[in-house]
Amino acid sequence: MVAWVKETTYGTNAWIDVHVFDGQDGLIHAETLTLPYTGFGSAFRYEFSGKIYQGSTATPGSVQPRPEARKVQYRLYYEVNYQVFTDGILHQHELQ
């Protein structure tokens, strides 16, 4: 996830509020994740490339069952000069 921002100053922040749903549209995970500053080009870039949710895992002799994710929704936020902005879009991705 990459966010390009035209205006930025020291101490600004970008983040996403993430919601993960199972196959029956039940909420199985919610988290706020910071998008670290990763550089600039035509605008300043904030990027998140980590794991949002880990489903079931298995290792020899151990199983950790968790609901399987089928949909991810997130909203993007950005703070500059003590004001919070959003792109106003509920981003949604269906998962296999």
pLDDT digits (tens, 9 = 90+) for 55-87: 888 888 888 889 999 999 999 999 888 889 999
Distance between CA atoms of 78 and 80, rounded to whole angstroms? 7
| pLDDT value of position 65 | 87
Residue 28 has pLDDT above 80, yes or no: yes
> What does the domain layout of the chain look like in residue ranges?
2-53+68-94
pTM over 0.75: yes
**d(C-alpha 69, C-alpha 93), whole Å:** 11
